[in-house]
Amino acid sequence: MKRRVVVIEGEDASPEAMRPSVEVIDSLGLPIEWIRPPVGRPALESHGDLFPEEARAAIDAADATFFGSTSGPSAPALLHLRWGLGTYANVRPARYLEGARSPLAEPAGVDFIIVRENLEDLYMGIEGEVEALDVLSLENRFSHRPISDMAPARFALKVISEEGSRNVIRFAFDLARRRRAEGHPGRLTCATKYNMLPRSDGFFRDIAVELAAEYPDIEFESFIIDDFGHRMVLHPHALDVVVMPNLYGDVMSDTAAGLVGGLGLAPSGCYGDDYAYFESAHGTAPDIAGRNVINPTATLLSGAMLLDHLGFGDAAAALRTAIEALYAEGKELTPDQGGVATTTAFCEAVRGRLGT
Ligand code: IPM
Ligand code: MN
């Protein structure tokens, strides 16, 4: 039976990476049906809605979604893919490909994965005027001044739930266990600001400490997020799987991408209990839109994660090997990697390597 994958190309330069990447994956001859429901600007024109019911139904009925990047119009679909479908674990690998441009003196062998909680923390969408907090008589815990004294000022709400934390931390431990079976160290690092936020981040950390007891085969360590950032830059080889709350994970995954060659190479997959979707970690790159130079590596590697998820592990491995070979050879790279190849030329070269 064919697996059904919804494709949402996104905005600005994103479709330029998505279209040839889908062609590359399609050339592998797997039983995948690509479904392109109306989303974003075209949907607004044809259906009077950026995210028509038809698109939502197509996503829900599919085995997975392959998402580009959005500058706004496709955001309602993204919100559905995350919050609507409960994709709580955002998996962001930082793996160095020989030949990629890294600022590190010794990037070879860097290979770790950030698992970012994807639905909670400061991503509640709840912000407001501090005067509204008067009713709660909230005061600064350190200065003991009423928060409303700071007006004009705004607040944002950070919520860390027990269930949400447990889900993503367990996911990260299980991932570390699977990687250990493949020869990785079997280590989970938890990064939070538990010293300043003992009740929220401390809660996340406590749950990680508690779950660690169920994974005696996995070495567990916990760092304060700023210390973690320093360690990540200085000793990235020591990392295996890292778990952290949403906002830190957003920031640290872009930072990690910078260490191993930039956002042009950074894939991502978001997993829930019943659904998963795949998207590059980068944005829509409006500055290079229309020039056919966006690096499709992040999209292709997200595609490899999609293939793994669909059960096409051999095809995923072949795709990764083809991309690795191109970087090692260094001839057909895009401008962000110091090359002169176009997006489509890179994808052609991947197909050349794949023999498709
Ligand atoms: C990402 C992006 C998103 C996020 C934006 C587009 C909402 O930065 O996927 O990392 O912050 O999660
Ligand atoms: Mn981000």
User: What is the assigned CATH class of domain 1-89+266-356?
Assistant: alpha beta
List, as one string, the DSSP characters of 200-257: THHHHHHHHHHHHTT-TTSEEEEEEHHHHHHHHHH-GGG-SEEEE-HHHHHHHHHHHH
Q: What is the best residue among 79, 91, 250 to mutate for testing ligand 1's pocket, by most ligand atoms within 8 Å of CB?
A: 250
Kindly give the number of the ligand 1 atom that is closest to the alpha carbon of 118: 12
- For ligand 2, the distance from its centroid to the CA atom of residue 355, given in whole angstroms, is 34
- For ligand 1, the distance from its centroid to the CA atom of residue 118, given in whole angstroms, is 9
In the chain, what are the domain boundaries?
1-89+266-356, 102-121+159-260, 122-157
Pairing, β 127-129 against β 64-69: unpaired
- For ligand 2, the distance from its centroid to the CA atom of residue 248, given in whole angstroms, is 10
Q: Residues whose CB is under 5 A from ligand 2 (ion)? A: 250
Kindly give the number of the ligand 1 atom that is closest to the alpha carbon of 82: 12
Amino acid at 295: N
Q: Which CATH architecture has domain 102-121+159-260?
A: 3-Layer(aba) Sandwich (3.40)
* Alpha carbons 165 and 83: distance in angstroms, whole number: 15
Model pTM score: 0.97
- For ligand 2, the distance from its centroid to the CA atom of residue 113, given in whole angstroms, is 15
From atom 11 of ligand 1, which residue's Cα is the shortest distance away?
250
- For ligand 1, the distance from its centroid to the CA atom of residue 171, given in whole angstroms, is 20
- For ligand 1, the distance from its centroid to the CA atom of residue 250, given in whole angstroms, is 7
What does pLDDT average to in each consecutive run of 10 residues of the chain (356 residues)? 96 98 98 98 96 98 98 98 98 98 98 98 96 88 92 96 98 98 98 98 98 98 98 98 98 98 98 98 98 98 98 98 98 97 98 97
* Alpha carbons 212 and 52: distance in angstroms, whole number: 43
Q: What is the pLDDT of residue 36?
A: 98
* Sequence-distant (≥ 6) Cβ neighbours of residue 153 within 8 angstroms: 129, 130, 147
Confirm if 4 and 306 have CB atoms less than 8 A apart. Answer: no
Q: What is the pLDDT of residue 135?
A: 83
Token pair 């169920």 is found at 214
Confirm if 50 and 74 have CB atoms less than 8 A apart. Answer: yes
C-alpha distance from residue 355 to each of 28, 150, 298, 348, 350 (Å): 9, 64, 21, 10, 8
Kindly give the number of the ligand 1 atom that is closest to the alpha carbon of 254: 10
Question: What lines the ligand 1 site, CB under 6 Å?
Answer: 250, 281
Question: Is residue 312 helix, strand or coil?
Answer: coil
Token code pair at residue 184: 């990785």
From atom 8 of ligand 1, which residue's Cα is the shortest distance away?
250
Ligand nearest to the CA of 280: 1
